[in-house]
Chain A
Amino acid sequence: MKKLMTIVLALSFGGLATVARLGTPAPVAVAAGSCDGRRAVAGDGRGVLRHTSSTPSVGTTYVLDRAGGDVVVAETATGVRRFSTRDEARNPSLSAAGTLVWAQGGGLRVVPSGSGAVRRVHGPVRGGLSFSPVFDADGGIVAGVVARPTRAVPEDEFLSNLWRYRRGSRTWIRMTRFSGGADRWSVVRTPFTAPDGSVEFVRVHGRAAVDRMPTFELWQVRGVVVSKIRTLPGEMYLAGFDGSDRLWNVRDGSTGAWRIEREQPGGDLRFVRCGAVAVDPLDRPDPDRRPGTRWATLSPKGPASAPEHSATDPGATGGETTVPVDAILVGDFSSVEGATAAAVTIRSVFGSTAEVVTSAEQPTVIRPGVWAVIVPVTSSDPEEDLGRFRAALPDLAGWSWIVSI
Chain B
Amino acid sequence: MSARPLERRWPVVAVALAALTLAPAVAQAVVIDPWVHDHSAAGIPPRPSGYTEMVQTFGEPCSNKANDSRSYWPSQSARNVAGYIYYNPYIARDVAYNIRNHVAHDKRDKAVDYLVGAYNCRYISGTTEWSVHAFGAAIDTNSARNPMYQSFWNGKGADGKDYGRYLPDVWRGAYPGHHFFWGLNWDTKPDPMHFQYVTDY
Complex contacts, B199 vs chain A, CB 8 Å: 291
**A309 within 8 Å of B (CB atoms):** yes
CB distance B186 to A309 under 8 Å? no
Bound state CA distance, A32 and B128, in angstroms? 23
Q: Mark B82-103, 1 if CB is under 8 A from A, else 0.
A: 1110100100110011001110
Question: How many angstroms from the CA of A290 to the CA of B52 in the assembled complex?
Answer: 16
Q: Does B157 contact A (CB under 8 A)?
A: no
Question: Which size bracket describes the interface of B in this complex?
Answer: 35 or more
Q: Is there a chain B Cβ closer than 8 Å to A345's Cβ? A: no
Contacts of A379 in B (CB 8 A): none
Bound together, the chains give a CA A147 to CA B158 distance in angstroms of: 28
Query: A304 and B36: CB pair below 8 A?
Result: no
* CB-defined contacts of A1 to chain B, threshold 8 Å: none
In the complex, residue of chain A having the shortest beta-carbon distance to the beta carbon of B127? A280
Q: In whole angstroms, how far apart are the Cα atoms of A307 and B37 in the complex? A: 6
What residues on B are CB-neighbors of A310 within 8 Å?
A: 37-40
B residues 112-158 with Cβ under 8 Å of A?
Answer: 114-115, 119-129, 131, 133, 140, 143-144, 147-148, 153
B172 at the interface (CB under 8 A from A): yes
| Alpha-carbon distance between A395 and B63 when the two chains are bound, in angstroms | 20
Binds B, one of A5-13, A193-201, A210-218, A222-230: A210-218
CA distance A301 to B165 in the complex (A): 9
Most buried by B among A130, A282, A293, A314: A282
Q: Are A304 and B101 in contact (CB under 8 A)?
A: no
Cβ of A279 within 8 Å of any chain B Cβ, yes or no, is yes
If A157-B126, A311-B38, A320-B34 touch, does A208 touch B121 (CB 8 Å cutoff)? yes
B177 to chain A, nearest CB (A): 8
| In the assembled complex, B24 has its CB within 8 A of some CB on chain A | no
Interface band, chain A: 35 or more
Q: Are the CB atoms of A146 and B125 closer together than 8 Å?
A: yes
Flag A242-280 by CB within 8 Å of B: 1 or 0 each.
Answer: 000000010101111000000000000000000000011
Q: Give the segment of A20-28, A109-117, A168-176, A359-367 that binds chain B.
A: A359-367
Please indicate which of the listed interface residues B71, B82, B102, B131 has the most CB atoms of chain A within 10 Å of its own CB: B71
Q: A129-B126, A187-B123 are in contact. Are A151 and B115 (CB under 8 A)?
A: yes
Given contacts A90-B126, A309-B36, 4 further A-B contacts (CB under 8 A): A213-B60, A298-B169, A304-B170, A309-B39
- Kindly list the 6 A-B residue pairs having the minimum CB-CB distance in the complex, ordered from nearest: A292-B187, A131-B126, A256-B51, A404-B97, A285-B200, A303-B169
A contact set with B: CB distance below 8 Å: 37-38, 67-68, 88, 90, 103, 129-132, 144, 146, 149, 151-158, 160, 185, 187, 189-190, 204, 206-214, 237, 249, 251, 253-256, 279-280, 282-283, 285-296, 298-299, 301-312, 314, 316-317, 319-324, 326, 329, 359, 363-367, 382-383, 386, 401-405
**What are some 22 contacts across the A-B interface (CB < 8 A)?**
A90-B126, A155-B125, A156-B133, A211-B66, A211-B67, A237-B128, A256-B51, A282-B51, A283-B52, A286-B129, A291-B186, A299-B164, A301-B164, A304-B174, A306-B105, A319-B30, A324-B43, A324-B93, A367-B82, A403-B69, A404-B38, A404-B69
